[in-house]
Every structure is written in structure tokens, then in C-alpha cells.
């Protein structure tokens, strides 16, 4: 465990000298400034949750993109540079390296999302808008969990890939599928099953459930009762909850789905790397 | 107890056989030189000891522990200079050594280790900006961190200038004196000859020979040399000498007859030269390690 944390700390500190990080950091900072400026521009329309809502909505796209960009090269890049050989010549296990990198990057992304929220809150507050602490904390938690999903996906693909190009293509590909194409997939499957013609009749329940297996929807479903004023910020990239509130939109179901998205990708990548020759 | 015990290890990459049923034992406290031409399987053997690659068949044990199941425990007690290494992120030289010390759970002064390998002046520079030789020295410093019981050095002198190679030899000697076992691979024969207790010669995935250098010389026997300088080399002398027992090759360059032969045959060669003409000078030499190497690896190196 100590060695896993040593890798995580190294990974976090490595970032401080990484040019990529400055680009991403600037994005998070700009996002915070923009949200703070906009919310602060019309303080009479804002409530205590406005900054948190706006920041979380922004992070759902910019934060997840940065999470993928900053994570997709973490393992495979070390593999191709020879750094992995050095780490695995010291007394680190492959588990230490993969999960250490995962936690290190996750901590880094969570820190950056805190920067966004604090900057946005500070600027909005200075311009006279109300800022509630509880929604801010809620947004930090939700943003951190969401970024954890995408760090897991990208680190997992990075650990499971043998070359950097494949890891990059896979990570950004999955990012696009999850954010933009997830809702279309059942339609495509039904189109194919229907003999390559448009399906007719009501949407089957599996196709409706599918939309709520997407991590952003699952996180929203999980948290909408706890943070009713900020969780809907996630809905821009998620199917809405039907009136009937079927079981797959329940918070506990959402919790399981989110947990699976955080744990499974990085674990699959680890298992692939564990069996590989360097 | 043997520090390293490889038994029946075979490794295939796709259809290519890198190691074929390799058996190898390195005793506690010895300096073992692992020789072989490029592609012989030296790095693959080391990779299996470190669990960087897994054997197709057979097993490797280090300190009596299975190299695959107990790799971390093995590496806690081992210092490694791996092949194909790369610097850790953007860390400085000193941070590298500190990182290695922390991983080993060892105390120790990082600056002292950097001084030992001769890169004190570069301690605060980023290792990615180091020259190849400096990176190699840094990796050695990391390998030495925590005074390991076993040093595994893959081609440690590659990329070093003569000074660096001398430092490397000195350090290997110091570590051996401290009681550490040293296992290193090389294709540079003089390095091996100077510091090794025993040598293993690997060729095409097989262990062609294991012995002390003297033992190998004896076993290979044939590769001594006698050089006889004459005022003139008479006709027929070459044929006569070629016909002697224990003589493998005869050639003439600038009035000097050079016979490659076993040591006992040297007297007969010189005797025949005396009878045939005027001898001006006689030199004999033992087999060089290079001759041994070539004789065991079929000149393919």
C-alpha cells in the first residue's frame, strides 16, 4: 500500500512539470473565471447554487475531456519510454503502478476541478452574487466522482494497450461514445436487428434502460435526491428520467452503475497488463 | 543457497525461441558474467528473473523464491540496472535516487550514491536531459540504493566512456567485497575477464559453457597461439607444422609464422622452426577471452 501511494504521489508531482498540465490547468481556470463572471453578472437572478450548477455543467464536458487527455498516456507512455521497466525493477508491483497512477491522476483532476469551483465562487461572490457552501461541496463531490470514471477509463485503456496511438484513439473514442453517441446505440442496434430499416413501435424497455447505464446519467440518478439543485447540471449529456421512474433510475441502481464505471475499466487494464510481457 | 537458480526455462516470443531449456545457477556472493552475442537471450533471462517477461516453460528462483509469484520480495533485496530503461518523468538525478531509496525502504544519502557513480555535478538537473552515459550512471546509483544483496546489471558498460567503464568495474568489485552477489551481462569481454569469478556463455538460447575463465581456457584448449619470427620461412614448413598434433591453424605475415594451437603443441612448433631455419624471436600467448567467445559461439558474434 505504501508503494502504491508512492507511485500516486510521484504521479501527482510529475504533473507539476508537465506542459500538458498547464494547458489543462488554464482551461479549468478559464472555466472558473467564465462561470464566476457570468453568474456574477446578474446577481439578482442567481441563487446559492448557481455557481455550483454552472461549474458542474462545464466540468461535465471540459473536465472529462481533460481527464481523458491527461490519463490516456499514463501507463503506455511509461511503457514505451522505459520508465515502466525502471519502476518494475524497483520493488513496485504492476498493481502499484496501475492503481497508483489511477489514484494520482484522479487526485490531480479532482484538485483542478476544485480550482474551477473556488475561482468561480470567488469571482461571483466579489461581483455580488450569493454563493452557497453546501452546493459547492456537492459539486466538488459530483465532479470528482465523474472525473474518476474518465480517469479509470483512460488509465485502464493505457494499461491495456501496447502502443500509445491505440491508447489515445481508444480513450478519445470512448469519450465521444459516452458523451455523444451513447443514446444512439440502441437505435443503431434496433435498426440492424430490424433488417437495416427504421424500427417501428414503442421503444423497448432495454433501450430505455441502456440510457441509464451511461455514467453521467447514473451519477445524476444517484444524486438527484441529495442535490436536487445541482445534479440536473449533468443532464446535458444524459437521458432524462421518465415519469414512471423505473428501477434503473433509482439512486441505488445509479450508485452501482457509477461504482462499476470507476472500478471496472482500470481493473480490466490492470489484468491485461498483469499478464503481459513488457 | 544459490542466489539465482534457473531451471529448464524456455521462452518463446510468437514463433521465435529466445531461450531453450536453460539451466543456470549463480552462487551466493559470486560475481557472474553472463556473456553472449546480441540476441543470445541474455536480456530475456534477466527479464524472467525480474518478472518482466514470463517463461513459456520452466521456473526461475531468486533467493529461493519464485521469480513470478514473489517478484516484489525479490526486488526488495535486488538492485537492478535494466535494459531499455527511461528516466522517471521529469525528476532530477537526486530525486531519482531518493525515489529508489524510498521504494527500497532504505535510508542512505542520495548525494553519496551520486558521487559514487560520478555524477554529483548533475544532481539537480533533470535526468531526461542527461547524456546516455550519465543516465547509465544514474541507473547504477539507483541499483545500488539500499545496499542490495544481489545486483542484476544488464549490459552495464554499454554507452560508457573508458572512465565510466572503469568506475563500473570498481563498483562491481566493491559490491562483491561487501558480500553482494553480482550477475551481469555483457558482450564486452575484457569487462568480464577483469571482475568475474565465473562466466556463462549463452548462444542462441542455450548455455554453451559455464566455468571460471581459466577453466574455460583449459576446456577450450585449442586457442593458444605461438608466433615465431624467422629471417626466412622455408618452403614446406607450413605444411609440416599444420601436420603436427594439436595445431589448428598456421599463417604467415611479414616473416612471422603464427600457429594457433594447444599449449602442449607449442614446443613442437618452435622445435620444427629451429630445425628448418633461423629463428629471430618467439612469442606465445594464452587464449584471449575473445577467442574463447568465438569458439563457443561459432564465430557468429
Q: Which candidate in A6, A18, A77, A89 is best for mutational testing of the B interface (most B CBs within 10 A)? A: A89
B224 and B177 assigned to the same domain: no
B108 and B158 assigned to the same domain: yes
Q: What is the pLDDT of residues A100-159, one digit of tens each?
A: 999 999 999 999 999 999 999 999 999 999 999 999 999 999 999 999 999 999 999 999
Give how far Cα B142 sits from Cα of A95, A268, B99, B163, B255, Å.
22, 31, 8, 19, 54
Euclidean distance between CA atoms A147 and A102, whole angstroms: 11
Cβ separation B80–A89 shorter than 8 A: yes
Q: Which residues contact B120 (CB under 8 A, 6 or more apart)?
A: B111, B114
Contacts of A78 in chain B (CB under 8 A): 86
Domain closes at, from B193, B217, B241: B217
Contacts of A85 in chain B (CB under 8 A): 52, 82-86
User: Over 80: is that where the pLDDT of B295 sits?
Assistant: no
Q: What is the pLDDT of residues B197-206, one digit of tens each?
A: 999 989 888 8
Give how far Cα B24 sits from Cα of A178, B5, B298, Å.
52, 6, 21
Cβ separation B75–A91 shorter than 8 A: yes
List the one residue out of A182, A173, A176, A170 whose CA is nearest residue A212.
Answer: A182
C-beta neighbour count of B265 within 10 angstroms: 20
Domain closes at, from B198, B217, B236: B217
Instruction: Express as a percent the part of chain B with pLDDT over 70.
Output: 94
Q: What is the pLDDT of residues A7-27, one digit of tens each?
A: 999 988 887 777 778 888 999
Look at chain A and report how many structural domains it folds into. 1
List the one residue out of A136, A37, A96 whose CA is nearest residue A270.
Answer: A96
Q: What is the pLDDT of residues B40-79, one digit of tens each?
A: 899 999 999 999 999 999 999 999 999 999 999 999 999 9
B49 and B103 assigned to the same domain: yes
Domain of B277: which CATH number? 3.30.70.100
Q: What is the pLDDT of residues B250-270, one digit of tens each?
A: 888 778 888 888 777 888 888
B235 and B113 assigned to the same domain: no
Cβ(B226)–Cβ(B264) below 8 Å: no
Q: What is the pTM of this model?
A: 0.87
Cβ(A143)–Cβ(A109) below 8 Å: no
List the one residue out of B143, B11, B7, B79 whose CA is nearest residue A277.
Answer: B11
B109 and B187 assigned to the same domain: yes
In this prediction, residues B235-254 reach a mean pLDDT of 83
Cβ separation A91–B50 shorter than 8 A: no
Q: List, as ranges, residues 238-297 from B with C-beta within 8 Å of A.
A: none
Please tell me the distance in Å from B77's CA to the nearest CA on chain A. 9
- Output DSSP code: residue B41: S
Identify the pLDDT of residue A154. Answer: 97
Structural domain span for residue B175: 2-217
Contacts of A91 in chain B (CB under 8 A): 72-73, 75-76, 103-104
Identify the pLDDT of residue B220. Answer: 63
Judged by a CB distance cut-off of 8 A, whether residue A19 touches chain B is: no
Domain closes at, from B183, B198, B217: B217
Euclidean distance between CA atoms B166 and B172, whole angstroms: 10
* Cell 524510498 found at: B102
B118 and B158 assigned to the same domain: yes
Look at chain B and report how many structural domains it folds into. 2
Identify the pLDDT of residue A245. Answer: 82
B210 and B231 assigned to the same domain: no
Cβ separation A88–B50 shorter than 8 A: yes
Residues (pLDDT < 70) of chain A are 1
B81 and B7 assigned to the same domain: yes
Cβ separation B90–A17 shorter than 8 A: yes
Cβ separation A85–B72 shorter than 8 A: no
C-beta neighbour count of A207 within 10 angstroms: 16
Judged by a CB distance cut-off of 8 A, whether residue B52 touches chain A is: yes
B225 and B188 assigned to the same domain: no
B225 and B207 assigned to the same domain: no
Structural domain span for residue A26: 2-274
Identify the pLDDT of residue A276. Answer: 93
Cβ separation B88–A87 shorter than 8 A: yes
Assembly ipTM: 0.89
User: Over 90: is that where the pLDDT of B116 sits?
Assistant: yes
Amino acid at each position: 500500500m505504501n508503494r502504491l501511494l508512492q507511485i500516486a504521489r510521484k504521479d501527482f508531482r510529475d504533473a507539476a512539470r508537465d506542459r500538458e498540465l498547464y494547458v489543462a490547468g488554464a482551461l479549468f481556470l478559464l472555466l472558473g473565471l467564465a462561470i464566476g463572471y457570468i453568474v456574477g453578472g446578474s446577481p439578482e437572478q442567481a441563487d446559492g447554487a448557481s455557481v455550483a450548477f454552472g461549474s458542474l455543467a462545464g466540468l461535465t464536458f471540459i473536465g472529462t475531456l481533460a481527464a481523458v487527455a491527461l490519463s490516456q498516456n499514463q501507463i503506455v507512455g511509461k511503457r514505451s519510454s522505459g520508465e515502466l521497466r525502471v519502476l518494475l525493477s524497483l520493488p513496485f508491483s504492476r498493481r502499484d503502478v496501475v492503481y497508483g497512477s489511477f489514484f494520482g491522476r484522479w487526485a490531480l483532476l479532482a484538485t483542478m476541478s476544485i480550482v474551477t469551483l473556488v475561482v468561480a465562487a470567488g469571482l461571483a461572490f466579489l461581483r455580488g452574487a450569493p454563493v452557497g457552501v453546501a452546493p459547492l461541496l456537492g459539486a466538488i463531490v459530483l465532479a470528482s466522482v465523474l472525473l474518476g470514471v474518465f480517469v479509470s477509463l483512460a488509465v485502464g485503456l493505457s494499461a491495456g494497450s501496447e502502443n500509445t496511438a491505440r491508447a489515445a484513439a481508444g480513450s478519445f473514442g470512448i469519450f465521444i461514445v459516452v458523451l455523444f453517441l451513447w443514446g444512439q446505440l440502441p437505435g443503431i442496434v434496433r435498426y440492424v436487428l430490424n433488417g437495416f430499416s427504421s424500427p417501428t413501435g414503442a421503444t423497448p424497455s432495454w433501450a430505455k434502460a441502456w440510457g441509464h447505464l451511461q455514467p453521467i446519467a447514473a451519477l445524476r440518478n444517484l444524486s438527484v435526491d441529495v442535490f436536487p439543485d445541482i445534479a440536473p447540471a449533468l443532464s446535458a449529456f444524459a437521458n432524462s428520467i421518465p415519469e414512471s421512474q423505473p428501477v434503473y433510475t433509482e439512486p441505488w441502481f445509479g450508485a452501482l452503475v457509477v461504482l462499476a464505471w470507476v472500478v471496472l475499466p482500470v481493473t480490466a487494464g490492470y489484468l491485461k497488463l498483469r499478464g503481459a510481457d513488457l | 543457497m544459490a542466489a539465482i537458480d534457473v531451471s529448464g526455462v524456455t521462452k518463446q516470443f510468437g514463433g521465435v525461441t529466445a531461450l531453450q531449456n536453460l539451466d543456470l545457477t549463480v552462487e551466493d556472493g559470486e560475481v557472474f558474467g553472463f556473456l553472449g552475442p546480441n540476441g543470445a537471450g541474455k536480456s530475456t533471462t534477466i527479464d524472467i528473473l525480474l518478472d518482466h517477461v514470463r517463461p513459456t516453460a520452466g521456473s526461475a528462483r531468486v533467493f529461493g523464491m519464485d521469480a513470478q509469484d514473489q517478484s516484489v520480495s525479490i526486488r526488495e533485496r535486488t538492485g537492478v540496472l535494466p535494459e531499455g530503461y527511461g528516466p522517471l518523468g521529469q525528476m532530477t538525478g537526486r530525486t531519482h535516487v531518493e525515489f529508489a531509496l524510498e521504494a527500497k525502504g532504505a535510508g542512505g544519502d542520495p548525494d553519496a550514491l551520486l558521487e559514487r557513480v560520478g555524477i554529483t555535478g548533475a544532481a539537480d538537473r533533470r535526468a531526461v536531459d542527461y547524456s546516455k552515459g550519465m543516465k547509465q550512471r544514474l541507473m547504477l546509483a539507483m541499483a545500488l540504493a539500499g545496499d542490495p544483496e544481489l545486483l542484476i546489471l544488464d549490459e552495464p558498460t554499454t554507452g560508457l566512456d573508458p572512465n565510466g567503464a572503469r568506475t563500473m568495474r570498481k563498483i562491481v568489485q566493491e559490491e562483491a567485497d561487501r558480500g553482494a552477489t553480482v550477475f551481469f551481462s555483457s558482450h564486452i569481454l575484457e569487462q568480464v575477464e577483469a571482475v568475474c569469478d565465473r562466466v556463462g556463455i549463452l548462444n542462441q538460447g542455450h548455455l554453451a559453457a559455464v566455468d571460471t575463465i581459466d577453466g574455460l581456457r583449459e576446456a577450450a584448449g585449442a586457442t593458444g597461439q605461438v608466433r615465431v619470427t624467422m629471417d626466412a620461412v622455408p618452403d614446406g614448413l607450413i605444411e609440416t607444422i599444420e601436420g603436427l598434433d594439436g595445431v589448428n591453424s598456421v599463417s604467415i605475415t611479414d616473416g612471422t609464422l603464427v600457429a594457433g594451437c594447444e599449449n602442449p603443441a607449442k614446443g613442437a612448433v618452435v622445435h620444427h622452426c629451429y630445425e628448418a631455419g633461423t629463428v629471430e624471436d618467439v612469442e606465445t600467448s594464452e587464449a584471449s577471452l575473445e577467442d574463447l567467445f568465438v569458439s563457443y559461439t561459432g564465430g557468429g558474434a
